Amino acid sequence: MKRKDQRAALLILALVAMVGAVLLAMSGLKDRAAYFYAPGDLKAGQVPQGAVRIGGMVEKGSLQRAADGVTIAFTVRDESPNRIRVRYKGIVPDLFKEGSGVVAEGSFGPDGLFAASEILAKHDENYMPPRLDAKKGEHKSESLAK
């Protein structure tokens, strides 16, 4: 093979590999991306399919503990009238409590009950703004992803 031809061949090979990677990524993303919902995003009578994340506030007085000691159920709310009932088996993060923000990963059952596989309570009370001269926009708050 001539030098020029080999370089062209390698170039095309690299291009094909990259295009292949993008296509593979797209097909993977299509069925495995977890979309984010707040209670207000849900339409009546419809539940999202597959793995999703939900986020909102844990409604006061909604937390119930099951008899096995490791399963809990609670309601997530936002400003909308919608509510999501969540069930989770596991150790909740330290910052998880009623009235605070929560992000849960899991999937909806046909009855609208959200079975969480993971609870992420983001550090609500971040102990200080990053800079002493912090302007409003730079204040760090990880409370909730909307």
Partner 1 sequence: MIAEFGLAALWLAAALSLLQLGFGVAALRGGEGFASSVRPIAVVQAVLVGAAFLALIQLFLRTDLSVALVAENSHSQKPLLYKFAGTWGNHEGSMLLWVTVLAIAGAAVALFERSLKERTLVATLAAQAAIGLGFYAFLLFASNPFARLNPAPPQGNGLNPLLQDPGLAFHPPTLYLGYVGISIAFSFAVGALITRDVGPAFAKAMRPWVLAAWILLTLGITAGSYWAYYELGWGGWWFWDPVENASLMPWLAATALLHSVTVLATRDGLRAWTVMLAVVAFSMSMVGTFLVRSGILTSVHSFAVDPRRGAFILILLALYIGGALILFGARVGTVKEGSTFEPVSREGALVLNNLLLCVILALVFIGTIYPLITEAFGTKLSIGPPYFNSVVGPIALALALAMAAGPLMRWRRDRLFEVVRRLALPGGLMAVALVLVFVLAPGIRVLPLLGLALAFGVGAASLAPLWKRNLRRTPLFIWGMAVSHLGIGVSLAGMAAESAFSKERLVAARLGETVSVGPYAIRFESVDPVAGPNWTAIEGKLTASRGGGSFVLRPQARMFSAPPTETSEAAIATRLDGQLYTVLGKPDGAGRWQLRLWWKPFVTLIWLGGAMVAVGGLLALIGRVRRERRARRAEEGE
Partner 2 sequence: MKRLILWAPLAVFAGFLMVVAFGLKRPPDPAIHSKLVGKPMPAFELKPAVAEHPGLSSEDLKQGAPRLVNVFASWCVPCIAEAPVLMELKRRGVPIDGIAIRDRGEDVAAFLARNRDPYAHIGTDPNSQVQLALGSSGVPETFVVDGKGVIRLQHIGAINPNELGDIIAALEAAK
Write out the residues near partner 2 by the rule CB under 8 A: 8, 11, 15, 79, 97, 99-101, 124-129, 132-146
97 near partner 1, rule: CB under 8 A: no
> Phi and psi of 48, rounded to 5°?
-65, 145
- Residue count (the chain): 146
Residue burial 51-66, b: 16+ Cβ < 10 Å; e: rest: ebbbbbbbbeeebeee
60 near partner 1, rule: CB under 8 A: no
Alpha-carbon distance 137 to 102, whole Å?
A: 23
Alpha-carbon distance 96 to 93, whole Å?
A: 5
Closest to partner 2 by CB, 65 vs 139, is 139
In the complex, the smallest distance separating the C-beta of residue 64 from partner 2, rounded to whole angstroms, is: 20
Closest to partner 2 by CB, 51 vs 144, is 144
**Residue 56: which H helix or E strand, with range?**
strand 52-58
Point out which residues bind partner 1 (CB under 8 A).
1-4, 6-7, 10, 13-14, 17-18, 20-22, 24-26, 28-29, 32-36, 51, 53, 65, 68-70, 89-92, 94-95, 105, 120, 122-123, 126-128, 130-132, 137-138, 140, 142, 145-146
